[in-house]
Amino acid sequence: MHVRLGIIGKTNTGKTTFFNAATMQSAEVSTYPFTTKQPNYGVAHVITHCVCKELGVKDNPRNSLCIEGYRHIPIELIDLPGLIKGAWAGKGLGNQFLNIASQADALIHIVDASGSVDEEGRLTEPGTGNPLADVYDINEELVLWLTKLIERQEDKISRNLKSGKPLPEVMADLLQGARINQEHIQTALKQSGLERKDFENWTPMDDRKFAEVLLDVAKPMIIVANKMDLEPAQENYEILRDQLVNKIVVPASAEAELTLKRAVQKGLIKYVPGEEVFQIIDESQLTEKQQWALDFIDKKILGEYMGTGVQFALNVCVFKLLRMNAVYPVSDPTKFSDKSGNVLPDVYLMPSGATVRDLARAIHSELEKGLLYAVDARLGIRLPNDYQLKDRDVLTIVSATRKG
């Protein structure tokens, strides 16, 4: 499954720095509001243990990377224009922001934990901003946007319901452009207590309640408490963590991650994203400023928080919020290779509950058409088409039209 994460937040919170650190692109970063006027698209990676060591093989991946036994799996990352109050009504770049945000499977909300941003997204004295209020502001904009989106479709929903279609199917047809499906809607109806209430009798409060739940279900969100390298951030991080009990709050320094990755590019250090240590290759090659920066990151970021938080946030989004499993399809179940001899060539991110048939479809539509069964490459046993995939499965899909 193609996974897409959206980076959201107010201006000047470090969204684009996070994006650059995760993708190693060079999107423009500035301190004036709305530097990001158009979304930036890039490829980041989530990291999980590869099965190569367990199987005792040397792999040569095609659609991903294997670095020291860790599989780096590509995902799409979108850096969205900054959001301010009133975005749902079109203020600022609101309409553009929200339309693009709807295309994400999950959202990464970047908050300036140092309190250096006011409610309009302007830089201010560290400690004077309110990161917790920023979280509530952004969430309110998303809820209002989704509420209005549903309300604008009410007439169409009512007309289609009269044809005998169930509400989840009707809504899914109208909201599919926002990557909202029937399962999302069915779950939201149940959790909001509206499953048995006639849609014609929904009140404006019902619309909002449903939108709040649907947002959590269809667009799960992680909070990244950024700028932990600044002094006031620790106290605000603790407030965020204690108050947002239903959210995962990750302490982070996107600037530190970007600095480390640039040092790797220059050949100054060895560093694997997500790890809590790095190794200086030759201290004599460092300038005094570079040495100071690396010492600061080592003590104040890696030493305090066991990482910069950037890679951890990506991994949490994909493997915890979206509950993705890493599945390895191979053509030869004894050599764990494809037809060209590439060992463990591909890995697919498949959602919890996905089946062998879903995997076949993800690989190629023709493979699904002639699907017969799958083979567990570890055990050598046949698996039915409705077998639910598990993390780290290594499978051969047998099809009358093609073998994968």
Chain mean position to CA 229 = 23
Q: How far is CA 107 from CA 4, 25, 184, 191, 345, in A?
A: 9, 20, 16, 21, 29
Beta strands in 122-184 (DSSP E): none
Task: pLDDT tens for the chain, 404 residues: list them.
Answer: 589 999 999 889 999 999 999 998 865 554 444 454 578 999 999 999 999 999 999 999 999 999 999 999 999 999 988 876 665 555 555 556 667 778 899 999 999 999 998 887 888 888 999 999 999 999 998 999 899 889 989 999 999 999 999 999 999 999 988 899 999 999 999 999 999 999 999 999 999 999 999 999 999 999 999 999 998 999 999 999 999 999 999 999 999 999 999 999 999 999 999 999 999 999 999 999 999 999 999 999 999 999 999 999 999 999 999 999 999 999 999 999 999 999 999 999 999 999 999 999 999 988 999 999 999 999 999 999 999 999 999 999 999 986 55
- Reported as type and span, the H/E element at residue 369 is helix 365-369
Q: Which two tokens stand for residue 191?
A: 């959790």
Q: How far apart are alpha carbons 79 and 81 in whole angstroms? A: 7
203 DSSP assignment: -
62 DSSP assignment: S
Q: How far apart are alpha carbons 198 and 206 in whole angstroms? A: 11
Count of other CB atoms within 10 angstroms of residue 288: 7
Asked whether the whole model's pTM tops 0.85, one would answer: yes
Q: How far apart are alpha carbons 283 and 378 in whole angstroms? A: 46
373 DSSP assignment: E
Q: How far apart are alpha carbons 75 and 41 in whole angstroms? A: 11
Phi, psi for 134 (deg, rounded to 5): -60, -40
Q: How many helices (H) and strands (E) in the chain?
A: 15, 14
The label of the residue with tokens 């095609």 reads 62
Q: Where are the domains positioned within the chain?
A: 325-399
Cα end-to-end distance, the chain, whole Å: 16
User: Which residues are CB-contacts of 59 (< 8 A; sequence separation ≥ 6)?
Assistant: 50, 52, 66, 336, 343, 344, 345
Residue among 72, 90, 94, 77 at smallest CA distance from 21 = 77
- Reported as type and span, the H/E element at residue 78 is strand 70-79
Q: Which CATH architecture has domain 325-399?
A: Roll (3.10)
Q: Which two tokens stand for residue 270?
A: 């060895």
